[in-house]
A = this chain, B = another copy of it.
Amino acid sequence: MYKKIDIGKKILIANEEYALKNSRLLAEQKKLCLNMISSPGSGKTTILVRTINELKNKLKIGVIEGDIRTDLDAQRIRATNAPAIQIETEGSCHLSAAQVSGALDKLGVSELDLIFIENVGNLVCPSAFELGENGKVVVLSVAEGDDKPIKYPGIFAKSKVLLINKIDMLQTGVQDDFDVERVKTDARRLNKGIEIFEISAKTGEGMKNWCDWLIKAAKKLS
């Protein structure tokens, strides 16, 4: 078993080297890069599409899409006219910094204000692999239940932002057992400074606060 740990460490160290390369590139170019992490189906792509459309005249956004299979998500992003690079991980459960390095080159960072990385849908593994981003954004959909911060603490502890998505479901009564305050309290217990936005990427509710935060964060770097 000790061999596993040694090799595991080597893989993480190799990943860190590329992560450092990516973060240097982003720092030199003064670009904001956010790594979006969530379970499958929490609405990452829908949030990105809506965010790109709402910020159309304010920020130039590019997207790196990670999926096990298909380029469906990149197609959805390109339909907004934003550039998108698809990485198919072919079974791997997370994006690596090396994959992101190649994608950043293709995307043409200098032309952009903000780069989103949409990681593979997985609340566990992607949190262990730094990609060189400025921050992680964890998305939790109301449909997933309010016990997720305490059951999957790693990603909530590491994220700069928590987006609580699909809040329209609360109003319909479909998801009446989801306690928003519990999620906020548990997330802040793990991570005092985490920014939390309640949104519905479907109806648009709450998107303005999130978009305003993005504008401010991107401006701070440029």
Chain A residues within 8 Å of B, Cβ to Cβ: 3-4, 7, 10-11, 39-42, 67-70, 72, 91, 93, 120-125, 141, 143-145, 147-148, 150-154, 166, 168-169, 172, 174
* Listed A/B pairs (24) with beta-carbon separation below 8 Å: A4-B7, A7-B7, A40-B145, A40-B148, A41-B143, A41-B144, A41-B145, A68-B151, A68-B152, A68-B153, A69-B152, A69-B153, A72-B151, A93-B122, A93-B124, A93-B125, A121-B124, A122-B125, A124-B125, A141-B143, A143-B143, A143-B144, A168-B174, A172-B174
One complex includes copies of this chain to the number of 2
A93 CB contact (under 8 Å) in B39, B67, B72, B93: B93
Which of B3, B41, B69, B154 has a CB less than 8 Å from the CB of A39? B41
